[in-house]
Amino acid sequence: MSLEQLRKKTGIVVSHLSLIERGHVVLTVGTVDRIARALGLTPMFLVLLPEESELEAVVERIGHMSADKLARMYERVSASKSLPLKKPRPRGSHGP
């Protein structure tokens, strides 16, 4: 996508987009969000390391969480009722 095409989708002037592209400006969260949406991505995807996918980053973070933090996260997510979840098995468990 050209800078002009990105300008049309984001409303950010080409000169500013060029500075962003070259790493010469500090981005606001709003700017990251506008650019991500224009590219069909999530803002989180833009701030991850280039070789790391969004899912890999989430899995890595979860892998380093304590059992207590995992249980609290499960409770929060299941309370939202946005996703049907199964109760997580304790680490090292190999049942069905």
Q: How far apart are CA 57 and CA 42, in angstroms?
A: 13
- pTM, whole model, 2 decimals? 0.49
Instruction: pLDDT band for 8, please (50, 70, 90 cuts).
Output: very high
Cα(74)–Cα(86) distance, integer angstroms: 9
- What would the two tokens of residue 39 be? 């590219």
Q: Which two tokens stand for residue 17?
A: 């987009």
Q: Which pLDDT score, from 0 to 100, does residue 94 have?
A: 54
Mean pLDDT (the chain, rounded):
80
**Contact of 4 with 14, CB cutoff 8 Å:** yes
State percent of the chain over pLDDT 90.
26
Calculate the alpha carbon distances from 14 to 3, 8, 19 in Å: 6, 9, 9
* 32-78 tens-digit pLDDT: 999 999 988 888 887 775 566 667 777 778 888 888 888 888 888 77
